[in-house]
Structure 1
Amino acid sequence: MTGGREDGRAALTPSPGESPIVVLVRPQMAMNIGTTARAMANGGLFHMRVVAPRDGWPQPNAYAAASGADAILDAAQVFPDVPSAIADCHRVMGTCPRPRHVIVPLRDARAAAADLREINGRGLRAAVLFGPERAGLEAEDLSHCDTLVRYPLNPQHTSLNLAQAVMILAYEWWMTAETTPPRQLLTNGTPVATKGDLENFLSRLVAELDASGFLHNPPKRPGMVRNLRHWFQRGEVTEQELRTLHGVVTELSTGRMQRGRFPAEDPLPPWHEESRKDSP
C-alpha cells in the first residue's frame, strides 16, 4: 500500500535492497511517521514498512512533517503484524532499551550499522524494528529479531521520540560509507602557512614589540615571547591569516615608525610596504 502522493518533491528512489528496511511497529501518530521519513532520508535509508498504524494509512499529517521526503512515504508498505512485515527478510534487528532474560547478539547503533552494511553487501535483505512511541517493542516483537540494538545514552534520561531513534541509526548507517575526513581545517582555498612563514611573522612581531617597549621587562621577556609563539603554533595558520596579521602589525607600528623608532635589528623593515599591499 502506498501513500498516494506523487508530486515527486524528493528524488529518493533507490533500487530495492539498497538500504535496510525501517519497520515502524504500531506507530501512534502520523506526524511521527513523517518525521521518521525525514530522518531516514537524511541518513540514506529509503525503505519503510509500517505495522498496524493506530490511525491507519495514508495520513496527510505524515507528509506535512516529512519535509520533502515524500518518496519514502509514497513507497511505504503497510502490514497487519510483524511476521508478515519481515517475511521476506534474511536478518532482523530490533531496538530495545533494556534487553532482559534473552541470549541474543547485542549491538550499539554504530556496530549495528556496520553489520547492516555488511549484510546488504552480501545481497541479503535486512530490517530494523522500531517500537511504538509510548512503550517500544514488546517481548513478542523482539522474539522475531536475531539481533538487538541498544543506544547507550545518559542513564538518567534515555527517552527518545521515534524519529530521533531512527535518526541515530540512520546517521551511523551513513557514516559507514562516508568519506569526509572526521577532522579537517576549512581554509577557503588559502594554503596553510609553512613554519618558515610563521617564523618570519613571529620574528617581526617580537622585533616590533621590542621596539615599542612592550617587552621592556628583561626577566619576563623570554616567557612572554614563548607564550606568543605557543599561541600561534597551536593550530595551522593560513597564509591569508598571516598576511592579515602582517597588515595589523604594519598599521600598529606606522605611528612609531613615523617618529623614527625602528626595530634595532632592522632600521628599514622590508615588510612594511609588502604587508600593506597584501593585507585585505
Structure 2
Amino acid sequence: MANPIDDLASVWYDIKKYYGFDKDELKGIVVAVLVLAFIVSFDDWGVEKFEFFYGLKNLFNSMLIVLLSFLVYLSAQRITAIKSGFKAEWRVWTYGLLIGLVLVFVSRGKLWFLAPGGVIVYHMAGHRICGFRYGLNYWPLGMSAIMGPLACAVLAIIFNLLLGVFPENSLLEKAMRVNIWLAIINMLPIPPLDGSNLFFATRMVYVFLLGLVLGTLIPLLFSIHILYSLLIGLIAGFILWQVLFWTLER
C-alpha cells in the first residue's frame, strides 16, 4: 500500500523540478499579459475625453489582474500535469491575440476575446504511466488543459463573493469579468484553445463542464446571486450531457 506522505513528497519533488517556465514560455506570457491587459483596459482611458495618466493607471491595474489570473491558470494546468506524470508547456497563439485586438478596436472596447494560447503536454522522462512508458493519451492531456479555464472560473466566483462584501470596488468587478471571459473563451473546442483538448479526450465530460461553466458564469455578468448561478450551471451541464448522450453517444 502506497504511503500518502511519500506520494506527496514525490509530487512536490516533481513540481519543484518541472514547474518552471522556459524562455519561449516567458516571452509568450509577457506578450500575452500586455495584449490582454490592453484589451480589457481599452475602454478605460477617460470618461468623457482621453486622459493619459488615468488610462495608464487602469492599464497597470489590468496588467496585475491579467498576470494573477494567468499565473493561476497556468499553475493549475502544470500541477495537474505533473501529478499525472506529465509536463505542461504553454505556447502563445499569435492569431488569437490579433483577433482579440481587432475585435476590441472594432467594438470600441466592448468585446473581449481573450484567447492567448494553449497548453502542450508531454511525458516526463523516467516516469511510467499506466503501464505505458513514454506514452500519452488524450485523457491526461484533456484534464490538464481544462484545469486552466476551471481555475479561472473558480477565481471569478471568488471575486464575485468579494464583490458582495465590497460592492463598489471596480477592480474586483474587472477581475471577475476578466476571469469569466478567460474561462468561457478558452473552454471553446477550437484548437489550440484548451477546451479542444478535453473535447477530443471525452465529449461527455466536456459538454457537462461547458454547460456548468457557461451556466454559472454568464449569470454572474448580470449580477445574479452565486447560488442561483451554480444551480443554473448544474442544470445546463446536465441538459447538454443528456442531449449529447441521446443524440450521439447512445
Same structural fold, with TM-score higher than 0.5 when normalized by the shorter chain: no
TM-score with structure 1 length normalisation?
A: 0.21
Q: Which has the higher helix share?
A: 2
TM-score with structure 2 length normalisation?
A: 0.23
